[in-house]
Structure 1
Amino acid sequence: MPDLEEQAEKTSDPVVSAGSSTTTVAQLYPETDLDKGIVGWDGQLDPANPQNFTQNKKWILLALISSFTFISPLASSMFSPAIGYMAADFHVTNESLLSFSVTIFLLGYTFGPLVLAPLSEIYGRRIIFSFANWFFVVWQLGCALAPNLTSLIIFRLLAGVGGVGCVTLGAGVIADLFPIQQRGMATSIWALGPLIGPVIGPICGGFIGEEIGWRWVFWILLIASGAIAAMIEVFNRETYAPVLIRWKTHQLAKDLQRDDLRSAYDLARGTTTTVPTASHVLRQGLRRPLILLVKSPIVLLLSVYMAVVYGLLYLFFTTITSVFEETYGFSTGLSGLAYLGIGIGFLVGLLLIALSSDRIVKKLTARNHGTFLPEMRLPTMIVFSCLLPISFFWYGWSAKYHVHWIVPILGMMPFGIGMMGLYMPIQTYVIDCYPAYAASANAALTALRSLVGALLPLAGPKLFSSLGLGWGNSLLGFLALAFVPVPIFFNRYGQRIREKYPVNLEG
């Protein structure tokens, strides 16, 4: 098994000279050598190599996947404020079932990545991304026409399986297109959707449910996602280098009538140009993310930490609508606007990370004699983790004592800033660690955090009914406070743990 630096050289990244943005062209990408039967790129600057795409083309491709990465998480929470109207239509009074109809979408986010990520590493990003998008679109129609709560829950689960495609494959596309020194900004743009979508969703869903009915939440999602999916079909391109070279190998073998040609990427992995069977792909799909969670302690720890933060976010969401409707007298539509507090926090956190991540990496790389380490993404997490507990105490006690409505809304902002400052460095870290299998590495993160995000909020109603808003949120605040030392641990011991437990994802 090659070490991380060797793997990175084989898969994507040019060397950046310390203290400079100049890229030093070296023998980083495998080149074609027909005398040896090896098919690779036509030189280091081959324009067909996604790493050599023009900057405009790279950012357009990222914008395409990011657009759907906004729509899909939007669907996770857009239905939430309108749930009361659905309950009235279906004559449902069980609060747990109603909550489950919202969070079931995230269970789809749990299972989908285990299959979609490795499929994209076999058949390419484009075709799997397109399939996932249309699978998501189709089940919005099912949700809009659902005759009862059971069918609605099933359709939302299936929609989540398709909707997670953009969230899972985005990390792979970033690794395909961008060198290390640009990944911080790229990840900031792509990560905006999974964090902003769940915040914008309730704002839109509240007014839609109130004015034109809860089913129109899904009709609007159907129209928006269908239009974006159609646009992606037209403009999207394949970006995964091993698949592109495998296609090139097949074409050259046909044109030159040679059956000895092999893809340089497949040879490096000890495989052939034969596309694996569906059963093999599914086995690999289940194995790679699970291998990372089981055999890489640092990935497991980061996944658990991110899952806890994600669970806290959705527990936060369980009270916002009811608090502003019952305590402050907001209508269903206006109560959705309360989510702006956490949304503004996300935007502030995004701006801070986007402006600082790549700069910090360049400075630390220069200080480390030009050697990049993935752990250079993590130092900012120490500061941002301290912001999370603040919101729970601020929001919980101000809402309990009926302080002016703007105070609890402002109290959500520190959590938004802190969560963005944790989410994006972790995402970029796994991309840097496993560039060849970034989608599978991201699948491990996505699956675990989505599982917690789907199940933990089910405990929300009982938690807050037992402890009240003040102590219920304080309990969450103390939990967030207990996790503040975790980023310090990652920064001090992350490299040592990663190097001590290398992971072989090739087999």
Structure 2
Amino acid sequence: MEDAVVGTPIDRVPLYPGLLSGWNGPEDTENPQNWSVHRRCLITASLCSLNVCYTLSSTTFSTLNTPVAEQYGVSTTAASLATSLFALGAGGGSLLWGPLSERFGRRLPIFVGFSTFLLFHVSSAISTNFATLLVSRFLRGVLGTAPVIVAGGILTDIWDPERRAAAVMTFTMATFMGLVHGPILGASVVAAHITWRWVVWITMIVSGICLCLALTVLRETYQPTILQKRARRIRFRDRDWAVHAILDEQQLSLKEVYRNYLVRPLGLLMRETILLLVSIYLAFVYSLLYVFFEAYPYSFSHVRKWQNMALAALPLLSIALGVCIGGSLVAWDTCKRYNRYVKQYSEQRRVSHPNSLLHNELAEERLPPIIVGGIILSVGLFWFAATSNASVLWLPQATAGIFLGCGIFMIFLPGLNYIIDVYVNCVNSAVAANFSFRCLAAAVAPLVSPPMFRTMGVPWAMATMGFLSIVLVPVPIYFYRWGKKLRTVNLTPPSYRVHPALRTNISLPSVPLELNNVEIEIPPPVWSSIGK
């Protein structure tokens, strides 16, 4: 029997007749990793554009607290809920779109989620009361996070491990670029003396354009979904109703989703020391971004008396510059130190192709950039605090953002890589727990930052953040020295058991990996591959 599209014999597993469990050899044209580099680059670029639109929309309201408060007759602290609920919704969205992408493929959740995300822009823009605005912002956070969550799985589908690192780093940098430019967009609209509702319309228009472009580029990349469609074609072509794929044997159970994507991540976070401490560190640096979105406009407009809000928000661009520098340093460290160490270790262990288990053994080698980034971040925080007085020239204070952005990125991306490498056999749960914890911290930051700056003043508030940063610096140092003794690598949840046919035919959703002549079933990262 031959496939009508590929034209090569269909692989059948003798013990499971009719089951399509893998590609038709390494040259299968439906395998996303066999697509042209041009197409894969376009897919990566479209994902980055959707990511920028989402993160841009998440932070635009951080500089709109005053006009929103005046519009609805609430306090500026209450107006900060528009930003906090968006971040909180992102945490909830991570628990929704992950399991949906494993059942319905990558493409459908992205377009359903992002299309409804666009629709709720309308309810935000025409809201006549504060409650409607908050509900709309929360739902936009839940729905718009679909491409952010699913993108990790798509990048895993289309890129081999050697090229995937560059793609994921680009996607992560796009996240920070959107976050940083959001407050600048909001402040520019305020400075133009037009209604704050135009911020919503602008982000809706840009997001709609990016979604239309993504529709023309993005194809289904999830192997089980592709094989399911292939099996359907064969059934109707050959009238062989026994032909089926793995997804045809599975059902989306709410009980399984509840246990695998809610209970297990939280349980793992509570009982795993490494995951808890690293998640606290990453949540701290991620929430710092939301603190800076309040600190920069407040410091330059209220302390230095800059009347133009757009001008007061422009120093945030120094954080974007720092993120670019931090990304370059992480890339240099990966190429010059980490990859060379992996190659030497592979030769010692006689492993021809480094795999997830090998990276698990070398997980602590991800930590040196975090140690350096923690020091750089602490320097940037104290630098910002020391130069925030109006009597000091504005340029040194703006320059502090370079250290802040560089330090945050050098902690964030290697930290995610460390979690993925340590919890290689339950990576989905580990990264879901970390993502939800980060979103919770980001939701709290906009609520506590304005009162903190008004009460303590910018110098002492930022110095407090600097002291907290110093307290967390020993965390990666401790794990670099003793982390291997603490690690737990025998977490194999029952839900990750796969069809027996896949034990002899390498394919998703399980990847057999060989290390020292031992074959072990390892579930691949799906949405949680970001940072890999």
The answer, yes or no, to whether TM exceeds 0.5 is: yes
CA shift for structure 1 position 153: 1.1
Which among 460, 463, 466 is matched to residue 452 of structure 2?
Answer: 463
Q: Is 1:142 the counterpart of 2:123 in the alignment? A: yes
What letter corresponds to residue 212 of structure 2 in structure 1?
A
**What is aligned with 1:105?**
86
Which among 492, 495, 502 is matched to residue 491 of structure 2?
Answer: 502
CA shift for structure 1 position 493: 4.1
Equivalent residues in 2 for 1:285-364, closer than 5 Å? 285-287=261-263, 289-290=265-266, 292-294=268-270, 296-330=272-306, 331-364=308-341
Distance (whole Å) between structure 2 residues aligned to residue 203 and residue 34 of structure 1: 57
Q: Is 1:156 the counterpart of 2:137 in the alignment? A: yes
CA shift for structure 1 position 34: 5.5
Distance (whole Å) between structure 2 residues aligned to residue 493 and residue 241 of structure 1: 38
Tell me, yes or no, if the aligned pair for 1:431 and 1:441 is still in contact at 8 Å. Answer: yes
| Pair 1:80–1:145, CA change in 2 (3 A) | same
Which among 378, 381, 395 is matched to residue 389 of structure 1?
Answer: 378
Distance (whole Å) between structure 2 residues aligned to residue 224 and residue 486 of structure 1: 40
Distance (whole Å) between structure 1 residues aligned to residue 258 and residue 119 of structure 2: 23
Choose 275-284 or 48-57, whichever is displaced more.
275-284
Which among 248, 264, 267 is matched to residue 230 of structure 2?
Answer: 248
CA shift for structure 1 position 418: 0.9
For structure 2, the residue ranges without an aligned partner over 5 or more in a row are: 1-9, 348-353, 498-532
CA shift for structure 1 position 413: 1.4
Counting aligned pairs with the same residue, the percent is 29
Distance (whole Å) between structure 1 residues aligned to residue 241 and residue 336 of structure 2: 48
**What is aligned with 1:80?**
62
Distance (whole Å) between structure 2 residues aligned to residue 324 and residue 343 of structure 1: 18
**What is aligned with 2:24?**
42
CA shift for structure 1 position 434: 7.1
SS at match of 1:46: coil
CA shift for structure 1 position 99: 1.7
Tell me, yes or no, if the aligned pair for 1:388 and 1:480 is still in contact at 8 Å. Answer: yes
Choose 251-260 or 132-141, whichever is displaced more.
251-260
Aligned residues: 470
Distance (whole Å) between structure 2 residues aligned to residue 277 and residue 477 of structure 1: 46
Tell me, yes or no, if the aligned pair for 1:132 and 1:165 is still in contact at 8 Å. Answer: yes
Query: 1:61-99, CA deviations, whole angstroms, 9 ceiling, x for partnerless residues?
Result: 11111111111111111122232222222222x232022
What letter corresponds to residue 282 of structure 2 in structure 1?
M
**What is aligned with 1:194?**
175
Tell me, yes or no, if the aligned pair for 2:318 and 2:402 is still in contact at 8 Å. Answer: yes
| Pair 1:435–1:176, CA change in 2 (3 A) | farther
**What is aligned with 2:157?**
176
Q: Is 1:404 the counterpart of 2:386 in the alignment? A: no
CA shift for structure 1 position 248: 2.5
What letter corresponds to residue 295 of structure 2 in structure 1?
T
**What is aligned with 1:420?**
409
For structure 1, the residue ranges without an aligned partner over 5 or more in a row are: 1-30
Distance (whole Å) between structure 2 residues aligned to residue 244 and residue 433 of structure 1: 30
Query: 1:348-406, CA deviations, whole angstroms, 9 ceiling, x for partnerless residues?
Result: 11222234425544211112024441414333222112111112211112113531111
Equivalent residues in 2 for 1:105-124, closer than 5 Å? 105-124=86-105
SS at match of 2:167: helix
Choose 322-331 or 430-439, whichever is displaced more.
430-439
Choose 483-492 or 185-194, whichever is displaced more.
483-492
CA shift for structure 1 position 296: 5.0
TM-score for both structures, normalised by structure 2: 0.82
CA shift for structure 1 position 501: 4.4
**What is aligned with 1:204?**
185
What letter corresponds to residue 131 of structure 2 in structure 1?
T
**What is aligned with 1:62?**
44
What letter corresponds to residue 135 of structure 2 in structure 1?
I
Tell me, yes or no, if the aligned pair for 2:191 and 2:309 is still in contact at 8 Å. Answer: yes
**What is aligned with 2:510?**
none
Tell me, yes or no, if the aligned pair for 1:116 and 1:285 is still in contact at 8 Å. Answer: no
Tell me, yes or no, if the aligned pair for 2:426 and 2:491 is still in contact at 8 Å. Answer: no
| Pair 1:63–1:360, CA change in 2 (3 A) | farther
Distance (whole Å) between structure 2 residues aligned to residue 302 and residue 60 of structure 1: 33
Tell me, yes or no, if the aligned pair for 1:361 and 1:377 is still in contact at 8 Å. Answer: yes
Tell me, yes or no, if the aligned pair for 1:137 and 1:226 is still in contact at 8 Å. Answer: yes
**What is aligned with 1:21?**
none
Tell me, yes or no, if the aligned pair for 1:124 and 1:238 is still in contact at 8 Å. Answer: yes
| Pair 1:347–1:81, CA change in 2 (3 A) | same
Q: Is 1:231 the counterpart of 2:208 in the alignment? A: no
Distance (whole Å) between structure 1 residues aligned to residue 336 and residue 102 of structure 2: 30
Tell me, yes or no, if the aligned pair for 1:172 and 1:435 is still in contact at 8 Å. Answer: no
CA shift for structure 1 position 292: 4.6
Distance (whole Å) between structure 1 residues aligned to residue 398 and residue 185 of structure 2: 17
CA shift for structure 1 position 114: 0.6
SS at match of 1:234: helix
TM-score for both structures, normalised by structure 1: 0.85
SS at match of 2:388: helix
SS at match of 1:400: coil
SS at match of 1:391: helix
Tell me, yes or no, if the aligned pair for 2:62 and 2:186 is still in contact at 8 Å. Answer: yes
Distance (whole Å) between structure 2 residues aligned to residue 261 and residue 294 of structure 1: 43
Q: Is 1:274 the counterpart of 2:264 in the alignment? A: no
Which among 139, 148, 152 is matched to residue 167 of structure 1?
Answer: 148
CA shift for structure 1 position 116: 0.7
Equivalent residues in 2 for 1:9-48, closer than 5 Å? 32-33=11-12, 35-36=14-15, 37=17, 38-39=19-20, 40-48=22-30
Tell me, yes or no, if the aligned pair for 1:105 and 1:160 is still in contact at 8 Å. Answer: yes
CA shift for structure 1 position 176: 1.8
Query: 1:239-288, CA deviations, whole angstroms, 9 ceiling, x for partnerless residues?
Result: 1222222333343344444454454xx4xxxx862343566546544345
| Pair 1:230–1:79, CA change in 2 (3 A) | same
Equivalent residues in 2 for 1:448-487, closer than 5 Å? 448-487=437-476
Distance (whole Å) between structure 2 residues aligned to residue 115 and residue 422 of structure 1: 27
